[in-house]
Amino acid sequence: MKKRTMIIAGIVAVVVIIGIFVLPSLFGGKQAAGPEMKTATEDLGIEYFEVPDIEQVYINGVVQPEQAEAFAKDNKMTSTPEIKVKNGDVVEPDTELFTYEDKEVTKEIEVQNNTLSKLATKKQNIYKKWNRAIDTFNKTKEEERNTTGAAIDEQHQAEVDGVDEEIFFSNETIADLSTKQFISTKAKFKGRVSIPEVKDENAPVLRLTSDGLYVAGKVNEKDLMKIAVDQKANLSVVSSGTTVTGKISYIDDNPPEAQANQNQGESTGADSSMSNYNVKLALDSLDGIKNGYHMQATINLGDNKPIEVPKKAIHDQDGKKYVLVNDFGSVIRRDIQVGEEKGENTVVNSGLESADRIVVSSKKEVKEGDLIGEESKESGAAAKE
């Protein structure tokens, strides 16, 4: 009886093992995994707003001042320039910025001043001699005089006139040299002064930059015919995400000469020989924009109808508006500039890209940096409705 019980127990054990390991593999079943093996995507119940998919042209560029000038040192000058302005000063046109002293000219002026001093002494001596001659003439008896008082005056006046002529020439020479003694450099436009802190031999004396800024970018020949002057643009600072609006202010019809010559020598690949053309973009606001910032401009082609985004999709942090976007499964932040409110929606003037999937709401909080996977676009269509 005990043996029979053991046999039954063995059969039951085999059946259990077959049920756990063999049958699931035969019928496509999968072994249950622990929490760390979970692969099912959590249902976040996200509602999306789909930005219309429109054709766009992207222009990458760098912020530059409308006018700028760096004043290099004059190596012909042995003196150190005397700077007449301070770092950060905003100066008007024709303001004296710095001067050089031409030391060779200064030496010539000193020589002329010494000459003037000697001529003044010479003139005084002539007058003394003249006075002595008059005294001698007056003391001499009339019958013993061998000249006349008029002759004495004429002789000494001629000597004084000669010295006065030399004095006049020296003064004229000094006046002419004085215009060359200090070489002054003046501002050609209104701008802000920047004086380098490090005074090495390659550093300029100072720089002058206008307060007005623009974006200098490039567009390739494929997109050149798609854009036009005065076309509106949405611009974003690459480093900070700060967004502003603007427009195209200039398009160069010719590629840079050096690039054109280089392309003529290339013969392999269409992309390698594609020309780029200089483009300038004016900025509607300079808030958060500085000289040297890298920016990307987006030009929407075709219909420029404003994009209206649900209010509840727009967040605010320290006065900055932004939305969260599902970027191929990753949640990213897009800083935006908003316009007027229209019912439950708000007009977004800049910051969005074509076909952006904006998170409107979700069952669980979604934040920047989350990985949420790709979901169907049905919820985005529902948000638009």
The closest alpha carbon to 66, from 378, 286, 259, belongs to: 286
Bridge partners, residue 6, by sequence: none
Q: Are 335 and 243 in contact (CB under 8 A)?
A: yes
pLDDT of 145 over the 50 cut: yes
pLDDT of 305 over the 90 cut: no
The closest alpha carbon to 148, from 159, 157, 138, 158, belongs to: 138
pLDDT in tens, 77-109: 878 899 999 999 999 999 999 999 988 899 999
Residues of the chain with pLDDT > 90, as a percent, come to 54
DSSP string computed for 273-339: T--EEEEEEEES--TT--TT-EEEEEEE-S--PPEEEEGGG-EEETTEEEEEEEETTEEEEEEEEEE
Give the span between the Cα atoms of 273 and 291, in whole angstroms: 31
Pairing mode, strands 232-237 and 294-300: antiparallel
Q: Is 181 exposed, middle or buried (0-12, 13-18, 19+ CB in 10 A)?
A: middle
- pLDDT at position 375, please? 54
- pLDDT at position 384, please? 47
Give the span between the Cα atoms of 190 and 213, in whole angstroms: 13
- pLDDT at position 242, please? 87
pLDDT in tens, 203-244: 899 999 998 999 999 999 999 999 999 999 989 999 988 889
- pLDDT at position 49, please? 94
**Which helix or strand (DSSP H or E) is residue 219 part of?**
strand 213-220
Degrees to nearest 5, angle at CA 285 with 283 and 286: 95
- pLDDT at position 351, please? 83
pTM assigned to the model: 0.56
The closest alpha carbon to 248, from 210, 292, 215, belongs to: 215
3-class DSSP assignment, residue 110: helix
The closest alpha carbon to 57, from 226, 208, 283, belongs to: 226
Give the span between the Cα atoms of 47 and 313, in whole angstroms: 10
